[in-house]
């Protein structure tokens, strides 16, 4: 069965960076796009960006451009999301979420735009 | 960005009730709308995509309808497992956006 297992909770100081991992299993890792979505405490959901695990292509929401980097390691079926210059407003649960569209072109981003499997979430707390 | 507005924000209902949640888009999104259910401390779960298509494994008491700018999620007979927060999400524009959520509480 499809599983997305994320790394554990993190506490960071303002200005620092955090790197969250998401290990996929139960399907062919390079065949499905992966998104990152975050949720601040008691708030709604916010889409951050997407990575094509096959070719490594990425696309980020404008709000996070310049601060977020998504990468993947095909040897371990793991995607990573690194967020830099952290501020208190970045305190949130970060989720990886798979897109159901099959990757056809390794270098392209052509996903469906919905999220059919989710990781369990990683709480990132930014506090001085 | 396309703004998604859900109503109501909170809904109190009893087991067996028919429940309807509305989601409005700030501009037309055709049928590119999904619905998710989220329980406290858990990740969201996909229920409906393309406005009315039921995700595999989701009970048939859940249904979605609408197109353009107005959409509804209906639970035909509320079950104890359905008390949760529900989010709509548009995927017409590349910047995916969610509604603010509707919490379904026990009356």
Residue A104: its pLDDT value, please? 81
Residue percentage of chain B with pLDDT more than 70: 100
Question: Model confidence over A42-59: pLDDT tens digits?
Answer: 999 999 999 999 999 999
Give me the pLDDT at residue B102, please: 98
Closest Cα partner for B100 from B13, B2, B9? B9
pLDDT at A116 over 80: yes
Contacts of B97 in chain A (CB under 8 A): 47
Residue A108 has pLDDT above 80, yes or no: no
At residue A105, does pLDDT exceed 90? Answer: no
- Residue A42 region, left (φ>0) first, then alpha (ψ -120 to 50), else beta? left
Among the ranges A101-105, A106-110, B36-40, which has the highest mean pLDDT value?
A: B36-40
Q: How far is A87 from chain B (nearest CA, A)?
A: 22
pLDDT tens track for B58-101? 999 999 999 999 999 999 999 999 999 999 999 998 889 999 99
User: Which H helix or E strand runs over B34?
Assistant: strand B33-38
How far apart (Å, rounded) are the C-alpha atoms in residues A97 and A106? 19
What is the nearest CA distance from B59 to chain A, expressed in angstroms? 16
Please tell me which residue of chain A has the smallest CA distance to B54.
Answer: A116
Contacts of B47 (CB under 8 A, 6+ apart): B34, B35, B36, B37, B54, B55, B58, B62, B64, B73, B86
Instruction: Choose, out of A1, A32, A42, A44, the residue to mutate when testing the contact with B (most B CBs < 10 Å).
Output: A44
CB A125 within 8 A of CB A9: yes
Q: What percent of chain A has pLDDT over 70?
A: 100
Nearest to B37 by CA among B15, B53, B55: B55
Q: Which of A35, A45, A120 sits opposite B98 (nearest CB)?
A: A45
């Amino acid at each position: 069965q499809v599983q997305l297992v994320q790394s554990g909770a993190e506490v960071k100081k303002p200005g620092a960076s955090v790197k969250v991992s998401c290990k996929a299993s139960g399907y062919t890792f390079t065949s499905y796009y992966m998104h990152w979505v975050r949720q601040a405490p008691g708030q709604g959901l916010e889409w951050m960006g997407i990575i094509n695990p096959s070719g490594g292509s990425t696309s980020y929401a404008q709000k996070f451009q310049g601060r977020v980097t998504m990468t993947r390691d095909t040897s371990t079926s793991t995607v990573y999301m690194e967020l830099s210059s952290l501020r208190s407003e970045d305190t949130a649960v970060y989720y990886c979420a798979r897109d159901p569209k099959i990757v056809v072109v390794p270098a392209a981003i052509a996903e469906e735009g919905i999220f059919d499997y989710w990781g369990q979430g990683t709480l990132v707390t930014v506090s001085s | 960005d396309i703004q998604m507005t859900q109503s109501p924000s909170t809904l109190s209902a009893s087991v067996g009730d028919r429940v309807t949640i509305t989601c409005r888009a700030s501009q037309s999104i055709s049928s590119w709308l999904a619905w998710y259910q989220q329980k406290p401390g858990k990740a969201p779960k996909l229920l409906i995509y393309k406005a009315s298509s039921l995700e595999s494994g989701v009970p048939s008491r859940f249904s979605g309808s609408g197109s353009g700018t107005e959409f509804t999620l209906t639970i035909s007979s509320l079950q104890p497992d359905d008390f949760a927060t529900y989010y709509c999400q548009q995927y017409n524009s590349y910047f995916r956006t969610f509604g603010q959520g509707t919490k379904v509480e026990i009356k």
